[in-house]
Amino acid sequence: MRILVVGSGGREHALCWAIAASPLTTALYCAPGNAGIAREARCVPIGIDDLDGIIAFAREENIDFVVVGPEAPLVAGLVDKLDAAGIKAFGPTAAAAVLEGSKAFTKDFCARHGIPTAAYGRFTESGAAKAYIEQQGAPIVVKADGLAAGKGVIIAETVDEALAAVDAMMADRAFGEAGAEIVIEEFMEGEEASFFALADGTSVIPLAGAQDHKRVGDGDTGPNTGGMGAYSPAPVVDAAMAARIMARIINPTVAGMAAEGRAFKGVLYAGLMITAQGPRLIEYNVRFGDPECQVLVPRLMSDLLPALIATADGQLAHLHLRWHDETALCVVMAANGYPGSYDKNTLIAGVEAAEANDHVVVFHAGTSRDQNGGLIAIGGRVLGVTALGETPAEARDTAYAAVDLIDWPGGFCRRDIGWRAIGRG
């Protein structure tokens, strides 16, 4: 089969790495890809927002199957357009991608279907939003409704902070048009985890749990990022918890979306708070997580590609996936300054040395080549150094030994990835 992957991050590198290894793959392209993806796929310079360019390329190259990595083209309707062009694709339609595209939709959807999540109000007018905050008190969470690259969420410790967040989002449009509507929710206490499942419109199969590290600094300090490291499985999501998550959250979501004429096909990524009352939904994403994908894919013993195709074809009921028991752990290396403005075009050496260990793979995100063929950093998150180990501690030690072989003065990483599973220090 001739496959096209859309995206350019570590997630798409992991997807390309697995798809390139599939015996079903005869040709693999990635739009636009990066320097690491170029090892697995032919990279084509088409941006993820150039939907017509992607369709035209898929037609010209007789692509059999398109795998869409990031949320923006899904929310913009890339899969609908591919369907209309008769090209099979992995990922939800725009009508189903609204689970990620609109937090307000998802909150109302959870209320309609009895899916446990934080109590909330939604507002298009700042006076009413502020009155709700005064009435609820703090801590309280203020969120921009639309896509804001993971940044449109403010956890306010005080009422004043929450009121300022309303002004920043609604009056100053700190997150652009994503702030035209805001959601204000109850602060949930507990341990955060992610859970992934494939859904083909009606049938669902669980993939696995994972934990991400969203803050930039050790000890979960500093600003939020796209994710500084992850591991899977996550001890907090044991088999009993996974069963509860499926029964209370994932299955009712897939059934509810089908009943509302928005059948969900693709990967459903539930961001969860594991609270004293059980798992509660923080938010949905309609794609693989980044860097969670980088730890799910290496654990999969089965071929990933047939699973993605079965998802698109409505054939998941017949699919059985096998997993390695090991823990996979990914340490993200980011450019100095990230998540603020960061250094660009700095040279990276030592990636081959890091990958000399059979238990290590380095997934690339913001990388490119300079005119001499040297590896350079061109993005915020740049590398995902991923290791497998018998235990979380072994995976962590192997990953950091590989990180220490990478010579990149322009970058940094957290040194405590995996602390919830292993303990600090």
Chain positions contacting ligand GLY, by CB under 6 A? 150, 212, 226-227, 285, 289-290, 292
Give the number of C-alpha atoms closer than 13 A to the C-alpha of residue 153, restricted to the C-beta side.
18
The CB-of-253 to ligand AMP minimum distance in angstroms stands at 16
Work out whether 326 is an interface residue with ligand AMP (CB under 6 A).
no
* Residue with smaller CB distance to ligand GLY, 201 or 339: 339
Which one of ligand GLY, ligand AMP, none interacts with residue 12, CB within 5 to 8 A by kind?
none
- Answer for which of 77, 271, 278, 306 binds ligand AMP (CB under 6 A) is 271
Show the tokens assigned to 299.
Answer: 């654990």
DSSP 61-126: TT-SEEEE-SHHHHHTTHHHHHHHTT-EEES--HHHHHHHH-HHHHHHHHHHHT--B--EEEESSH
For the window 97-136, what string marks contact with ligand AMP as x by the rule CB under 6 A? Answer: ---------------------x------------------
* Residue with smaller CB distance to ligand AMP, 222 or 374: 222
Tell me which residue has tokens 């083209």: 73
Which one of ligand GLY, ligand AMP, none interacts with residue 187, CB within 5 to 8 A by kind?
ligand AMP
Tell me which residue has tokens 């703090």: 138
- Answer for which of 19, 141, 267, 296 binds ligand AMP (CB under 6 A) is 141
Which one of ligand GLY, ligand AMP, none interacts with residue 283, CB within 5 to 8 A by kind?
ligand AMP
Q: How far is CA 357 from the centre of its chain?
A: 26
DSSP 349: B
Is the CB of residue 234 less than 8 Å from the CB of residue 279?
Answer: no
- Of residues 272 through 311, those in contact with ligand AMP by CB under 6 A are 282-283
Please provide residue 424's backbone torsions phi and psi, each rounded to the nearest 5 degrees.
-85, 150
* Residue with smaller CB distance to ligand AMP, 77 or 150: 150
* Residue with smaller CB distance to ligand AMP, 30 or 282: 282
- Answer for which of 54, 188, 246, 377 binds ligand AMP (CB under 6 A) is 188
Is the CB of residue 204 less than 8 Å from the CB of residue 137?
Answer: no
Tell me the C-alpha to C-alpha distance, in Å, between residue 370 and each of 35, 70, 348. 10, 26, 11
**Which residues would be at the binding site for ligand AMP (CB under 6 A)?**
118, 141, 150, 153, 155, 185-188, 192, 214, 271, 282-283
